[in-house]
Amino acid sequence: MNITTTLVLLKPDTVERGLIGKVISRFEDRGLRIAGLKLLIASPELAKSHYGDFVERYTPKLGAEKSQSIMDEMVGFLTSGPIIAMAVEGVEACPTVRKIVGSTYPNEAPAGTIRGDFAHMAQDYANKIGITVKNLVHASGSPEEAEIELGLWFAPEEIYNYKTVHQKHTLE
């Protein structure tokens, strides 16, 4: 097992609903360490970089027009208000964070996860009314993805190394 760092974004719906503290505490309660944290409004360029090759990956499945439309919706939502970007560190941080966050679609996320407890949007409903699924958080899907995403959102000097009490009792 390795100590790794992953990216978590608290999207505008988390910030606007006043859930920042509740969501961050979920990670800290599991013994993960917040190594970097900032409040910002993402530029369209940053949001597009974050979603990367989405259009290219989904064009074969959805078609170019639909893929671009979804990308535009995601970028629009991510840039619609303040977000919190976090570098979260711990043992196998990426899969641990993904478990805490829950399924991408909140209606499929089990109770006890962030999305299962605080969101209720279903993909079919969002598609029916033409909006992006508001699922509160983004969590990197793999350690490789986390490395790329952390580089987009944080400069190396914005990620800090310190020991928590949890580390002193469980990792040494």
What is the C-alpha end-to-end distance of the chain, expressed in Å? 13
pTM above 0.95, yes or no: no
C-alpha span between 33 and 113 (Å, rounded): 18
Decide if 120 contacts 106 (C-beta within 8 A): yes
pLDDT per residue, tens digit, the chain (172 aa), is 789 999 999 999 999 999 999 999 999 999 999 999 999 999 999 999 999 888 888 788 888 888 888 889 999 999 999 999 999 999 999 999 999 999 999 999 999 999 999 998 888 888 888 888 899 999 999 999 999 999 999 999 999 999 888 777 776 6
pLDDT at 172: 62
pLDDT at 108: 92
Nearest to 34 by CA among 1, 13, 6: 6
Give the sheet arrangement for strand 33-40, strand by strand.
33-40, 83-91, 3-10, 137-139
Characterize 16-37 residue by residue with b for buried, 16 or more Cβ atoms within 10 angstroms of its Cβ, and e for exposed: eeebeeebbebbeebbbbbbbb
Write down the residue that tokens 């350690």 correspond to.
143
Dihedral sign, CA of 119, 122, 75, 26? Answer: positive
Active site (catalytic) residues: 138
Q: Give the type of residue at 33.
A: R
Decide if 118 contacts 49 (C-beta within 8 A): no
Domains present along the chain, CATH in parentheses: 3-41+81-161 (3.30.70.141), 43-80 (no CATH)
